[in-house]
């Protein structure tokens, strides 16, 4: 059973000398055989340091080959890979580390101070250099632990409904079937090459193209950060065929001279995800005759759930496409009945690619997985041809620059200010960011925007800080006394349109 779980070992037998990974900064490359060798060394090190099946092994670093070392070492040992979001504030990161209790954290020295005073029993492994594995001393081990396909392989944290991050547990089966689904539905093969700029602590950075391409024998170029001009140059230099960016990245890319001059002869398709994509980005690619499409996913169900031919995106503008080969979808109304064609309802997903449970959150797990279906909280509709459109969210989650933001956390922090009586936070449409976080406050005395922004910086991660503050005498309420956010949004957009 273990041989079926460790698919990198199987891939090495087929493609030992094929190039698997390239570091876009150092230009160093690794074959599948060398990539596997790194995972074996790290797995031996984990076992030698008492890390067992089910123990958590975390990483806090920019995009780096170490992410792959860690997840493939966990495939061998049964440990659970936990990529940590380095964009979190120290308070938020402390919560995540306390929640998952890792036995080891691989940390880039740049982020060492964010961990604070760690548990004395927790191992901190310096992974700044690609060569860190050469310094790991451990006797070779035999990987005999029985690992089942439903055992946890990775835990990726996402924001909860209260703003607290939730650990989404992905099994070996979840990650494998997301990859298989992507390979078969998106027609990937060993000649495909991708550039990974999206953070690999997100499901998009790991599961959209990186792991699927390594399963099929393709090539992954890892970039430690995103810079629009460099990204375009890397796409051309490494002859990339497929890539994922979020709309904020595309907004920056299409404004570069490099994009205007490039023809991207090797590129099959550009994919957008993480937030609704402005139509002007579609237009920029269509004018150049370059294939472009939008995807849909979530940490709990994998990032790849639909497929649309790029040639269909003009007629079906804004659609994420049809369900992929190995997943089921349905759209249901509030009463649970199936929605009809073009009727809006909640999107439900089901398949082997689905997550197993939320870490330490059994109630939230039962509320999300009902009769085998993941309730996404997203509203969608399906047209007469079977194409699905995401039209909104049941909850008030804001997606800004590919990041999920939950208003309640921000509202609570604002209302903790002695000068603020009430606060409401919504997302307003924005071409660059997808949405921008916008706050409405009722204050006791005069407060300046800069003062509120500085207050938010004490507690909140940068992308959660409102871009705009509106000062009101009172917040509109519904007949049951709740703040009417829909009316707030409508009034604000009308005011903006009228200026």
- pTM of the entire structure? 0.81
Tell whether 145 is covered by a domain: yes
What CATH number is attached to the domain comprising 423? 3.30.300.30
**Could you tell me if 180 and 62 lie in one domain?**
yes
How does pLDDT run across 23-78, given as a tens digit for each residue?
A: 999 999 999 999 999 999 999 999 999 999 999 999 999 999 999 999 999 999 99
Domain finish residue from 345, 361, 388: 388
**Could you tell me if 110 and 251 lie in one domain?**
yes
How does pLDDT run across 78-112, given as a tens digit for each residue?
A: 999 999 999 888 888 999 999 999 999 999 999 98
Domain finish residue from 357, 388, 419: 388
Does residue 479 register a pLDDT over 60?
Answer: no
Question: Cα separation of 468 and 474, whole Å?
Answer: 17
**Could you tell me if 48 and 146 lie in one domain?**
yes
Burial call 181-207: b when 16+ CB within 10 Å, e when fewer: bbbebbebeeebbbbbbbbbbbbbbbb
Number of domains present in the structure of the chain:
2
Q: What are the phi and psi torsion angles at 146 (to 5°)? A: -75, 125
Q: Which two tokens stand for residue 29?
A: 């490359």
Count the Cβ atoms, other than its own, within 10 Å of residue 27: 10
Tell whether 397 is covered by a domain: no
What CATH number is attached to the domain comprising 189? 3.40.50.12780
Which DSSP string corresponds to 330-392? Answer: EEE-TTSPBP-TT--EEEEEESTTS--EETT-HHHHHHHEETTEEEEEEEEEE-TTS-EEEEE
**Could you tell me if 428 and 346 lie in one domain?**
no
Tell whether 194 is covered by a domain: yes
**Could you tell me if 332 and 459 lie in one domain?**
no
| No. of helices (H) and no. of strands (E), the chain | 17, 26
Question: Cα separation of 86 and 100, whole Å?
Answer: 15
For residues 132, 62, 90, 460, the Cα torsion angle rounded to the nearest 10 degrees is: 180
CB 217 within 8 A of CB 17: no
Tell whether 444 is covered by a domain: yes
**Number of residues in the chain:** 499
**Could you tell me if 366 and 433 lie in one domain?**
no
**Could you tell me if 379 and 318 lie in one domain?**
yes
Residue among 141, 98, 104 at smallest CA distance from 126: 104
- Which residue matches tokens 């890979």? 81
Lowest mean pLDDT among 192-201, 432-441, 442-451, 470-479: 470-479
- Which residue matches tokens 């009722």? 442
**Could you tell me if 409 and 357 lie in one domain?**
no
Q: Provide the pLDDT confidence category of residue 375 given band limits of 50, 70 and 90.
A: very high
Domain that holds residue 413: 403-498
Tell whether 171 is covered by a domain: yes
Domain finish residue from 356, 388, 420: 388
Question: Cα separation of 251 and 245, whole Å?
Answer: 10
How does pLDDT run across 209-266, given as a tens digit for each residue?
A: 999 999 999 999 999 999 999 999 999 999 999 999 988 789 889 999 999 999 999 9
Which DSSP string corresponds to 386-432? Answer: S-EEEEEESS--EEETTEEE-HHHHHHHHHTSTTEEEEEEEEEEETT
**Could you tell me if 145 and 270 lie in one domain?**
yes
Taking phi first (over 0 means left), then psi (-120 to 50 degrees means alpha), and beta for anything else, what does residue 272 get?
Answer: beta
- Which residue matches tokens 């989650």? 397
Tell whether 148 is covered by a domain: yes
**Could you tell me if 334 and 460 lie in one domain?**
no
Q: How many CA atoms lie within 13 A of 113 on its CB side?
A: 1
Q: Provide the pLDDT confidence category of residue 121 given band limits of 50, 70 and 90.
A: confident
Mean pLDDT score across all residues of the chain: 91
Residue among 451, 377, 459 at smallest CA distance from 410: 459
**Could you tell me if 316 and 346 lie in one domain?**
yes
Tell whether 395 is covered by a domain: no
**Could you tell me if 369 and 424 lie in one domain?**
no
């Amino acid at each position: 059973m273990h041989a079926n779980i460790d698919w990198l070992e199987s891939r090495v037998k087929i493609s030992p000398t094929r190039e698997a990974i390239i570091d876009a900064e150092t230009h160093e490359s690794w074959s599948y055989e060398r990539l596997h060798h790194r995972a074996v060394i790290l797995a031996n090190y984990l076992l030698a340091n008492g890390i067992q099946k089910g123990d958590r092994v975390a990483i806090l670093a920019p995009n780096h080959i170490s992410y792959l070392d860690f997840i493939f070492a966990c495939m061998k040992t049964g440990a659970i890979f936990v990529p940590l979001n380095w964009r979190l504030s120290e308070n938020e990161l402390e919560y995540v580390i306390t929640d998952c209790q890792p036995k080891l954290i691989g940390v880039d020295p740049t982020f060492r101070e964010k961990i604070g005073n760690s548990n004395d029993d927790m191992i901190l492994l310096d992974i700044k250099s690609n060569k860190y594995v050469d310094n790991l001393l451990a006797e070779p081990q035999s990987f005999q632990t029985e690992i089942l396909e439903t055992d946890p392989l990775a835990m990726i944290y996402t924001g909860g409904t209260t703003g607290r991050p939730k650990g989404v547990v992905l099994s070996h089966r979840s990650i494998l079937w997301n990859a298989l689904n992507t390979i078969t539905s998106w027609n990937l093969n060993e000649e495909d090459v991708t550039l990974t700029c999206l953070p690999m602590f997100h499901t998009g950075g790991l599961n959209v193209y990186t792991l699927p391409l390594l399963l099929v024998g393709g090539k992954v170029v890892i970039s430690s950060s995103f810079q629009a001009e460099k990204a375009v140059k890397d796409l051309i230099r490494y002859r990339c065929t497929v890539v994922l960016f979020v709309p904020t990245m595309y907004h920056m890319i299409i404004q570069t001279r490099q994009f205007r001059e490039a023809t991207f002869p090797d590129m099959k398709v550009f994919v957008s995800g993480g937030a609704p994509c402005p139509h002007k980005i579609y237009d920029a690619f269509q004018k150049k005759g370059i294939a472009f499409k939008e995807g849909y996913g979530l940490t709990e169900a994998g990032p790849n759930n639909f497929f649309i031919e790029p040639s269909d995106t003009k007629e079906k503008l804004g659609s994420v496409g049809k369900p992929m080969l190995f997943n089921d979808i349905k759209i249901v109304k509030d009463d649970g009945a199936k929605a009809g064609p073009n009727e809006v309802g909640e999107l439900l997903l089901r398949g082997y690619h689905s997550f197993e449970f939320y870490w330490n959150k059994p109630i939230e797990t039962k509320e999300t997985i009902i009769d085998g279906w993941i309730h996404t909280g997203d509203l969608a509709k399906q047209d007469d041809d079977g194409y699905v459109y995401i039209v909104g969210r049941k909850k008030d989650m804001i997606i800004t620059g590919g990041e999920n933001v939950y208003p309640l956390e921000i509202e609570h922090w604002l209302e903790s200010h002695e000068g603020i009586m009430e606060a409401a936070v919504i997302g307003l449409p924005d071409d660059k960011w997808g949405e921008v976080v916008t706050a409405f406050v009722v204050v006791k005395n005069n407060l300046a925007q800069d003062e509120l922004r500085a207050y938010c910086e004490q507690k909140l991660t940068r992308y959660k800080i409102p871009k705009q503050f509106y000062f009101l005498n009172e917040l509109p309420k519904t007949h049951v006394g709740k703040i009417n956010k829909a009316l707030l949004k409508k009034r604000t957009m009308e005011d903006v349109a009228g200026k």
